[in-house]
Amino acid sequence: MANSEIDRLMQLLARVPGLGPRSARRAVLHLMKRRDQLMLPLAQAMQAAAESIRICSQCGNLDTQDPCAICRDAERDTAAVCVVEDVGDLWALERTSAFRGRYHVLGGTLSALDGRGPEQLNIDKLIDRVREQEVSEVILALSATVDGQTTAHYIGERLADLGVKVTRLAHGVPVGGELDYLDDGTLTAALRARRPA
């Protein structure tokens, strides 16, 4: 590529998840064609976001303010804290509008292979929150994987002496799922977690 600025832009865009070198080229071409309508506003938005985004000191969420909008929202139930692995999981739960409590982002799960132990996760902060704030329920919304469930059990044990109710998300048949197409593990988990109809 003749132009180093364009080349650099393509290289950077190619690092974004979902984009490879070819799609980065297409995106750059599209941006250059819509310089005023898209490229400059996008650059300004990215600049503004990069300068203002910070990690919430209470829950670990990403926001432009600290504490984040969720932690500052007085309408939310302060007694329920939902523990998630990542900010992406928090956003997924927020999209459902089914939970009106607060969150706590762990920053990952315990991993035997990656050597990620409890000290690398935001667990001590969660214990402090439960101790210091009036939390009555901690919901463990972690993945149904070996690492996710090992982390959930670990946190459950750490919270056991604090007199707080610890619950976790159910595992089983997804909405719209047909039994015939479900894998054995999901069906087994669903059967084990059955409840009165």
Partner 1 sequence: MIEWQDDGIVLSSTPHGEDATVVHLLTREHGHHAGLVRGGQSRRAQGTYQPGNLVQASWRARLADHLGQYSCEVVETPIARLMDRPDRLVALSAMAAVAQHALPEREAHPAAFEGTQALLAALEGEHWAEAYVHWEMFLLGELGFALDLSCCAGGGNDRLAYVSPRTGRAVSLSAGEPYRNKLLALPGFLVGYGGGGTGEVAQGLRLTGFFLGRHIFHPADRDLPAARHRLAERFERALGEGSGSKAGSDGETDSVDRPAGMD
Query: Which residues of the chain form contacts with partner 1 (CB under 8 A)?
Result: 17-18, 20, 110, 112-117, 144-147, 149-150, 153-154, 156-157, 171, 183-189, 192
Q: 59: burial class by Cβ within 10 Å (0-12, 13-18, 19+)?
A: buried
Q: Cβ closer to partner 1: 78 or 186?
A: 186
Q: Cβ closer to partner 1: 99 or 154?
A: 154
Count how many Cα atoms sit within 13 Å of the Cα of residue 155 in the half-sphere of its side chain. 36
Q: Cβ closer to partner 1: 113 or 175?
A: 113
Q: CB–CB of 104/55 below 8 Å?
A: no
Nearest distance in Å: CB 14, partner 1? 10
CA distance 68 to 84: 16
Nearest distance in Å: CB 18, partner 1? 7
Task: For residue 167, give the H/E element and its range.
Answer: strand 165-168
Q: CB–CB of 87/61 below 8 Å?
A: yes
Nearest distance in Å: CB 36, partner 1? 32
Nearest distance in Å: CB 135, partner 1? 22
CA distance 172 to 131: 32
Nearest distance in Å: CB 115, partner 1? 6
Task: For residue 155, give the H/E element and its range.
Answer: helix 146-159
**Strand, helix or coil for residue 81:** strand
Q: CB–CB of 126/69 below 8 Å?
A: no
Q: Cβ closer to partner 1: 134 or 194?
A: 194
Q: CB–CB of 55/67 below 8 Å?
A: no
Q: Cβ closer to partner 1: 115 or 196?
A: 115
Q: Cβ closer to partner 1: 51 or 163?
A: 163
Nearest distance in Å: CB 78, partner 1? 29
